[in-house]
Structure 1
């Protein structure tokens, strides 16, 4: 069963990642030769998680191969005794009952967030700008995100919770801006979010506090549901569902663009799928369809900043702001990222690929109005027109790209005429 913090295997992957980092640090400090990392085990567990969900949906009981692969991956990443314990637990998965026992028979499983370490800069009171931090959600290059309540309601279990983001002053920002400039820009861009209208495809903006100590904060609605990234990983997709999610996401971006604001970090992990009445993700092919909600506005604003965006979806101007100038319209940057995401949602694979960040960045900077991976779509008889729409959203020159509204209208029309009746994913 999926909770707010994912499935049991998601939580196990998080625990292994945390343990592997602790072990790696300890081995480095003691001068031992083995240094463990969680890369293989995380991939193995995600694959096993997908197999488990598929087994539940399709009544397929053959999980032995997937559990063996995951156990072997863990043996590569953890010391033998740790790996042996985890491996024995995984082997029991295939013997578990399919149906959930009654609530009275289920042991309480602590939320993963309770075991993730709080950052050392967080005050002992856990209060930031009038909000009490309950637990971490995650940390990335753009900053840290926490579940929080209003400070005066911190002891009320039924009080509303929020997503509180603390932007990170590091990476590209630290190379190009002083900390004072960074905070000023944060204040300006967060203030611009106050002009955004309420929209079902956008997480609600609550407040920001550029003067919060020890770090500024941005507070948003806490949206419950699985991410689009997870749905793609599970391959639990159909063509009508993919088109519906893309249209909803485009509608949310249109509302932002009408206010002159770009999201600047459009990617699958920043899209939450909200199902009616919190029923969770239904089985493949069932209804109702979820509402896609764009979250994480930590990079949103009216200016393109160095390094905003993500490696698979970042436009050329994100990686080389000097070449494109500082007046690039951030809405054009969103169109580029949305076009990358549209390709991924319809084909099941990323538009750009590479084993290292420099390779990905070079691919964005050197292509001419669409990478080579678009070419097979031009020859696809049943999806004629899709490559043209995407290439017009992927122009290297941001001034020559379609607007988000133009991409949305073109995709919707093509979807009605051709795409909706095709099998997912589109194949070469």
Structure 2
């Protein structure tokens, strides 16, 4: 255990401990040869014998040594001492962004300035093939003049390296991790998600995805909607552009810098999401099967479920070590549960019409145009049913029969039990996430019958044939990318419905 006064490598005298993190302990030290103060980082004492930790510390030094940017902390040298190496770094005077935020939030313009400087550091790192992977307020240092410096590349990794250790150890701060990182896939856009959360905390004063436990936080990052910013002023569109779960839908570093520059000037930036591109249509099925249309567009705001991506071995190990059995329920695969309750609620609390328009997620091909035979078949209780993932071919919207709305905060187990109960009378029932449609109130799982229905009256007639004749058990709803379509709600009875039942009324 080191103490003040110890001399490292016969040159660096330890003065005081500045802090400790997941990768080591940082000391203020005096270089007795050059007569200057430096920062010395040592491997944390309880992990000195770990080759994996030692390698990550060395990787940090090598990664930092490759960068030359005023907003990245400078590495002076590496000391290969026993029992662990030391990294000699620039001592940045001032304090961390986290310490600054303890005194109060930043204005949108101030946050944009810090964001641009951190972005400059990230661009330099990404150009060298390095991802930071732990962008958070504690790792942003502020010089006395306010200039931001990004530090602690302790878990930085070259592109293509897993974010998790082979033993399943989770490294990084869960509340700032990008969703795709947790799923085992990330790229430079993952650092931009983290930067977006840092900026959110800077202006809103709260960490939107932090929960009481690590597992709950990971679940929130994967599944919970990010609360819309309310104090961010012109920075709000930038936060909303960054904090989408599809990495391809986020602005890249050049676009983000331009957006933040507008906020710095007090202007209101505008972000136009990437233009959707047509996907190839699959070959038609065998003659014995009903024709199935293929996907036509690519969603820009929905993180695909794990069925679309293979988990890396490191991620699998991490989930096992962390006992992330509960997190497995966060993915959008629905499993049947045995429950005797039968009362269903189609409505839920009054919806807000202020949701940011987003592109609807993809629905299954069979759901888009099911045959009468397919509609009458009940899914096998042992067959997993996934949340829809392909957009409707009908002008970006369609009518459904909404059968129940379950708050996302209730958890996926409650969602799955409700779906199984509803399938007792509506075998074709599916589930979607309301956050993916601007015409629905965000924050709910919606159990629904996909139809297709020509209008809301047709949806109510479908429900009436199955004994669902009240507004708490069935509502005709229109799914679209516009919050203006929230008014398209058709309520029982089917013979004389209330509300708006067609798009033309």
Question: Which bracket does the TM-score occupy, shorter chain normalised?
Answer: 0.5 to 0.7
Call closer, same or farther: CA 1:346–1:381 in 2, change over 3 Å: closer
Residue 130 (structure 1) shift: 4.8
- Assess if the C-alpha contact under 8 Å between 1:239 and 1:419 holds in 2: no
The answer as to 2:89 corresponding to 1:194 is: no
Residue 147 (structure 1) shift: 0.9
Call closer, same or farther: CA 1:239–1:311 in 2, change over 3 Å: same
- Assess if the C-alpha contact under 8 Å between 1:308 and 1:314 holds in 2: no
Per the alignment, in what secondary structure is the counterpart of residue 385 of structure 1? helix
Aligned with 1:338 (options 195, 207, 224): 195
Counterpart Cα distance in 2 of 1:336 and 1:389: 9
Residue 213 (structure 1) shift: 1.3
Q: Deviations over 1:180-234 (max 9, x none)?
A: 344345434422322211x22222221223x321211222111111221122221
Aligned with 1:293 (options 125, 149, 169): 149
Aligned with 2:163 (options 305, 314, 338): 305
Counterpart Cα distance in 2 of 1:258 and 1:361: 29
The answer as to 2:324 corresponding to 1:324 is: no
Call closer, same or farther: CA 1:414–1:128 in 2, change over 3 Å: same
The answer as to 2:82 corresponding to 1:213 is: yes
**Aligned residue in 2 for 1:406:** 255
Per the alignment, in what secondary structure is the counterpart of residue 174 of structure 2? coil
Residue 152 (structure 1) shift: 4.3
Counterpart Cα distance in 1 of 2:263 and 2:253: 15
Say what the alpha-carbon RMSD is for the aligned residues: 3.4
Per the alignment, in what secondary structure is the counterpart of residue 95 of structure 2? coil
Counterpart Cα distance in 2 of 1:169 and 1:148: 18
Per the alignment, in what secondary structure is the counterpart of residue 208 of structure 2? coil
Residue 142 (structure 1) shift: 2.4
Structure 1 unaligned blocks of 5 or more:
1-119, 154-158, 277-289, 421-427
Aligned with 1:274 (options 143, 146, 151): 143
Call closer, same or farther: CA 1:300–1:169 in 2, change over 3 Å: farther
Residue 305 (structure 1) shift: 3.1
Aligned with 1:373 (options 219, 222, 227): 227
Counterpart Cα distance in 2 of 1:189 and 1:224: 21
Per the alignment, in what secondary structure is the counterpart of residue 335 of structure 1? helix
Residue 133 (structure 1) shift: 1.9
- Assess if the C-alpha contact under 8 Å between 2:141 and 2:150 holds in 1: yes
Counterpart Cα distance in 2 of 1:381 and 1:226: 26
Q: Deviations over 1:128-157 (max 9, x none)?
A: 58533222111222221111223546xxxx
Residue 364 (structure 1) shift: 1.5
Counterpart Cα distance in 1 of 2:56 and 2:233: 47
The answer as to 2:24 corresponding to 1:143 is: yes
The answer as to 2:233 corresponding to 1:233 is: no
- Assess if the C-alpha contact under 8 Å between 2:139 and 2:151 holds in 1: yes
Higher alpha-carbon Rg: 2
Residue pairs, 1:86-235, within 5 angstroms: 120=1, 125-128=6-9, 130-150=11-31, 152=33, 159-168=35-44, 179-197=50-68, 199-209=69-79, 211-235=80-104
- Assess if the C-alpha contact under 8 Å between 2:108 and 2:235 holds in 1: no
Call closer, same or farther: CA 1:359–1:128 in 2, change over 3 Å: farther
Counterpart Cα distance in 1 of 2:211 and 2:37: 38
Structure ranking higher in helix proportion:
1
Counterpart Cα distance in 1 of 2:97 and 2:235: 23
- Assess if the C-alpha contact under 8 Å between 2:95 and 2:142 holds in 1: yes
Per the alignment, in what secondary structure is the counterpart of residue 265 of structure 1? coil
**Aligned residue in 1 for 2:242:** 390
Residue 125 (structure 1) shift: 4.4
Residue 242 (structure 1) shift: 1.8
Structure 2 unaligned blocks of 5 or more:
165-169, 270-354, 356-505
Counterpart Cα distance in 1 of 2:221 and 2:10: 39
Counterpart Cα distance in 2 of 1:364 and 1:239: 24
- Assess if the C-alpha contact under 8 Å between 2:106 and 2:203 holds in 1: no
Per the alignment, in what secondary structure is the counterpart of residue 332 of structure 1? helix
Residue 304 (structure 1) shift: 4.6
Call closer, same or farther: CA 1:381–1:182 in 2, change over 3 Å: closer
Per the alignment, in what secondary structure is the counterpart of residue 70 of structure 2? coil
- Assess if the C-alpha contact under 8 Å between 1:383 and 1:418 holds in 2: no
Counterpart Cα distance in 2 of 1:133 and 1:345: 33
Call closer, same or farther: CA 1:134–1:415 in 2, change over 3 Å: closer
Per the alignment, in what secondary structure is the counterpart of residue 216 of structure 2? helix
Counterpart Cα distance in 2 of 1:227 and 1:385: 26
- Assess if the C-alpha contact under 8 Å between 1:267 and 1:337 holds in 2: yes
Call closer, same or farther: CA 1:215–1:250 in 2, change over 3 Å: same
Counterpart Cα distance in 2 of 1:347 and 1:275: 24
**Aligned residue in 2 for 1:28:** none
Counterpart Cα distance in 1 of 2:7 and 2:236: 55
**Aligned residue in 2 for 1:263:** 132
